[in-house]
Amino acid sequence: MLAGDALSGRGASMRPSRERSNSARVPEAVRSGRLSRLGGGSGTVSSRRTIMTLFSAPADAWSHRTRIVLAEKNIDLEVVSVAPGSLPEDLLDLNPDHSLPTLVDRDLVLYDSRVIIEYLDERFPHPPLMPADPVTRAQFRLALYRIERDWYSLLVQIGREEDRRQLPRLRKILLDTIVQGVELFQLKPFFLSDEFSLVDATVAPVLWRLPYYQIELPPKAQPIVRYQSRIFARPAFARALSDAERAMHR
């Protein structure tokens, strides 16, 4: 079975909620240091623009995977925690999608998590988080696409669903979709790889949130349980967790 087919699962033909790829140049408001402190945040944008700044939602899977990549590469930057819906006016000017995460690197602004993590992997090439071989690299990109389309979209639906009667159905679809690819998690230490990759950084936030959404992996999913134990034990994973994400496992 191809990785893309196994990841898609059955009955999970939901439309993707993936962010739109885009970038922008930093306006004078940021270059001059006029970006205000974020409400509920943990920092400000330096007027010197000598370091990267990541605006990150504390409980969002898209932001979580970006922080995992930053931690795996040990990148020194400022992470500003922003509550969804509370973006300051200056940051709204930077990002016309009004979405998180948003990365500011001097005059460059990126506001799609896939674009951000691939940019980080290219800008800071060690350790590499994508294979050098173009065929394998394309397969990994396909896996990223399928996980975003089928897993992340369901996480968003579960988190936003107001009709509690629909939650058991959505949870089951997500669980079935994940378990459908169980064999992929037993082939190698990491997802189809001997080394940690962007795919692992994308899978991990979903698996971390399963208990929070009252989703329990069945006995036949032991390869996934062992896989997530390896991922969660990584020092970089622990460093990437926000307080809100740590609270999901209390």
Q: What is the pLDDT of residues 75-95, one digit of tens each?
A: 999 999 998 778 777 778 888
Q: Please give the CATH topology (third level) of the domain spanning 23-123.
A: Glutaredoxin (3.40.30)
Distance CA 230, CA 158 (A): 26
Listed by start position, the domains of the chain span 3-15+131-243, 23-123
Average of per-residue pLDDT across 149-153? 95
Instruction: Quote the strand ranges of 58-161, DSSP E.
Output: 77-81, 102-105, 108-110
- Residue 63 tokens, joined: 């932001």
Better-predicted residue by pLDDT, 235 or 47: 235
Over the stretch 235-245, which tens digit does the pLDDT of each residue have? 999 999 999 99
| pLDDT of 113 higher than 50 | yes
Angle at which helices 153-160 and 167-179 pack, to 10 degrees?
Answer: 160
Q: Is the pTM of this model over 0.85?
A: no
162 exposure class (CB count in 10 Å sphere: 0-12, 13-18, 19+): exposed
Q: Is the Cβ–Cβ distance between 51 and 76 less than 8 Å? A: yes
**Domain 3-15+131-243: which CATH number of 1.20.1530.20, 3.40.190.290, 3.40.960.10, 1.20.1050.10:** 1.20.1050.10
